[in-house]
Structure formats: structure tokens, C-alpha cells
Amino acid sequence: QVQLVESGGGLVQPGRSLRLSCTARGRFFSIDTMGWYRQVPGQQRELVARISATNVPNYLDSMKGRFTISRDNAKNTVHLQGDNLKPEDTAVYYCNAVVRRSDLFTARTEYWGQGTQVTVSS
């Protein structure tokens, strides 16, 4: 019922920057937390950053410094800015959102995007 549409992935050279975007589409009362996770094949999916409905960000310690998360509530969109990217940042990046349901607005449902590939290579 809710779709998370991701964009901005692709090939980037080491040391360069990249900006990912994710927009929530569909029926929902409101969006609570939005975030970005990443996963390398054969490894566990890990948190990069997440941000609350009131724009309070939270980063995994290992992600601090080079990644910045932000959101535009009017557009139901979350962004992830990656700077000084390294080859080890190569992964599939997944958008995540927790929404308040429109049919039962007191309940929350978690959704995932299909993932966007980020490859850092020269």
C-alpha cells in the first residue's frame, strides 16, 4: 500500500560525493522515522542513518562524518548525502520508513525500498 521510491544511486569515483533520495508514495496518515541502510552480498544489512519526524538525525558511529541524512516532510522525502566516498562504501542502499496507517492511524507499519546500487570505484 505504501511504496518507497529510491533514486540517485550509481557509479562514483573515490573521494567524490553522491546524494540518494527516497520518496514515500501511497496511503498513509503520516511518516514517523525514515532512514537508510546498506547491505553487501553475504553480509548483514546495517544502518547508515535515520531521522525522526521532527528532523532529529541518528547515525551509526562508523557512518558519522561522511554521511548526512535529511528529510523534506512536505515532499515525504528523505535524503542521504555521502561525501568523500570510499570503495568500502559500495553496497545496495535501502530506504526505510515507519508510517502511521491511514486505515488505522494508531498503528504503525514499516516499509522498505527495493534498494539502489552504489558503486565506488575508479
Quick one: pLDDT at residue 63? 87
Quick one: pLDDT at residue 57? 96
Quick one: pLDDT at residue 74? 95
With cut-offs at 50, 70 and 90, classify the pLDDT of residue 62.
confident
For residue 111, is pLDDT > 90?
yes
Quick one: pLDDT at residue 104? 85
What percentage of residues in the chain have a pLDDT greater than 90? 91
- Summarize the chain as % helix, strand, coil (round to 5): 5, 55, 35
| Cell 539502489 sits on residue | 116
Decide if 84 contacts 15 (C-beta within 8 A): yes
Pairing of strands 18-26, 2-7: antiparallel
Quick one: pLDDT at residue 105? 80
pLDDT tens-digit map of 1-39? 899 999 999 999 999 999 999 999 999 999 999 999 999
